[in-house]
A and B are shown apart, each in its own frame.
Chain A
Amino acid sequence: MHLEETKLSRHKPLQGVPPRIKLAVTLAIVTGTVLIERRPSVLYCIPAGILLLLWPFARMPIGYALRRLLMAEFFIVGIALLTLLRPSSAPIFIAVFIKSNLCVLAMLLLSWTTPFHDILGELRRLRLPSVMLTTLALMYRYLPVLLEETRRMQRARASRTFSRHRRLAWHSVSAIVGQLFVRSADRAERIYLAMCARGWK
């Protein structure tokens, strides 16, 4: 789902900017936002302003951003509500709400303008252990494959499901997940063979 959407932009916005800069800028914005005191403050305008300034260059569709923000709201509001447990903490709630949303927006801009391949390259440069780099790379490569397999299994299941019992649904979903694991393990074995066949050690 998100994979398709993030690749929708064929114009490759901000491609010229090295991924290192994009990551650093994002980190700076997020860190700065988080460090602002926990009260509604004019200072929040700074990261907000920077993000709004960068937005046109990133050419991120507003609909997409709003949709993703909406999905993030669930987590943000869910945890932010905990801050309201203390009386007269409404200012903290507002501050935390603003902070989280600004940070999510910054991350959205990053992921929109930086293909995963580039992020992986940066992580490699940051000396992330090779086990993790390989895992991340293979994960990204095979996620669409697994999602497609899941879709097919769900469709096959649904074609033979005539009742809406929750118990049946749980059994079906669990069986699909179990089957997905088995298939993934088999595929991993074949991938290993294919890698060896081309000289991997």
Chain B
Amino acid sequence: MSAAVEIRNLSYTYPGLRQPALAGISFNVASDECVGVLGPNGAGKSTLLLHLNGLLPQAPPRQPSIWIAGQPLTAETLDSIRQRVGLLFQDPDDQLISATVFEDVAFGPRQLGVDGGDLKLWVEECLGMVGLPGFGGRESHRLSHGEKRRVCLAGVLACKPAVLVLDEPTSDMDPRGRREFKGLLQSLPGAKLIATHDLELVVDLCSRILLLDAGRLVAEGPTAELLSNEALMLAHGLEKPHSLLHRHPHAAAR
């Protein structure tokens, strides 16, 4: 079975800048695998995620560097791949563009031609998946931050993606919100790629980690192994998560 996500030698420089944002990145993500993308600010995490959905580069390259479920990402396959890769943005206000929750979750399916009674069922199902049943009539600007995040996730799930890509999903969340969101993500099937600073989230959810710094993939490996490598973490602007510190009372036996 082909990998859910396959990247081969992906490079990108923002127009007008000299320093490349991504340089020679290669990795795979198997279906049903959850991979964490770590790195200091400016490492290129968000740039990488935008590539997965085909939002970057602005003109799709003739030579593909990205394959989603075996399909190369080119100008012709862009629409199909965009539907298969669900991208959750960091700021829910950027993604939640409609006045009501129903309208926003329906945004994606409408592009796919779903309408009428089918659409209602579809939206309700997605809202149920994120733990917000019956929220369809609520107004966007009256939701709490956590609710907005979940509605955005429902909107992404409504496109029935094969791969979920999340950009800092737990930033700005209080511990309870984080816990609940983590539980939610754990319940979702399919391949997941999570770019985050939240090391505890990575420890709990991800089986494998990609470590980015200055546009390069500097390390790749199982979560506990990489995160326990204190020297590696510190060298790339991170640190060892508390739960893996041997002295820490919450250290889990891993």
5 A-B interface contacts by CB (under 8 A): A7-B142, A141-B141, A193-B89, A194-B87, A197-B87
Q: Interface digits, B90-113 against A, CB 8 Å rule (1 contact, 0 not)? A: 010111111110000001100110
Please tell me if the beta carbons of A187 and B94 are within 8 angstroms of each other in the complex: yes
Please tell me if the beta carbons of A196 and B55 are within 8 angstroms of each other in the complex: yes
Work out how many contacts link A and B, with CB atoms closer than 8 A. Answer: 64
Please tell me if the beta carbons of A190 and B94 are within 8 angstroms of each other in the complex: yes
7 A-B pairs closest in CB distance: A199-B111, A190-B94, A144-B141, A198-B108, A194-B95, A197-B87, A197-B53
A138 at the interface (CB under 8 A from B): yes
Please tell me if the beta carbons of A141 and B159 are within 8 angstroms of each other in the complex: no
How many Å lie between the Cα of A27 and that of B242 in the bound state? Answer: 65
How many Å lie between the Cα of A201 and that of B112 in the bound state? Answer: 12
A116 at the interface (CB under 8 A from B): yes
How many Å lie between the Cα of A198 and that of B82 in the bound state? Answer: 7
Please tell me if the beta carbons of A198 and B98 are within 8 angstroms of each other in the complex: no
How many Å lie between the Cα of A7 and that of B107 in the bound state? Answer: 24
A-chain residues with CB within 8 Å of residue B98 when the two chains form the complex = 137, 141
How many Å lie between the Cα of A144 and that of B148 in the bound state? Answer: 14
B83 at the interface (CB under 8 A from A): yes
How many Å lie between the Cα of A23 and that of B108 in the bound state? Answer: 31
How many Å lie between the Cα of A33 and that of B46 in the bound state? Answer: 58
A-chain residues with CB within 8 Å of residue B141 when the two chains form the complex = 3, 141, 144-145
Q: Given A190-B89, A197-B87, A199-B108, do A7 and B139 touch, yes or no (CB 8 Å)?
A: yes
Please tell me if the beta carbons of A140 and B99 are within 8 angstroms of each other in the complex: yes
Q: When the two chains form the complex, which single residue of B91, B99, B139, B155 contacts A198, counting CB atoms closer than 8 Å?
A: B155
How many Å lie between the Cα of A132 and that of B107 in the bound state? Answer: 19
Closest A residue to B93 by beta carbon equals A145
Please tell me if the beta carbons of A194 and B89 are within 8 angstroms of each other in the complex: yes
A195 at the interface (CB under 8 A from B): yes
Closest B residue to A4 by beta carbon equals B142
How many Å lie between the Cα of A144 and that of B143 in the bound state? Answer: 12
How many Å lie between the Cα of A190 and that of B112 in the bound state? Answer: 22
A169 at the interface (CB under 8 A from B): no
B140 at the interface (CB under 8 A from A): yes
Please tell me if the beta carbons of A198 and B107 are within 8 angstroms of each other in the complex: yes
Q: What is the minimal beta-carbon distance from A5 to any residue of chain B, in angstroms?
A: 13
Closest A residue to B98 by beta carbon equals A141
How many Å lie between the Cα of A75 and that of B159 in the bound state? Answer: 49
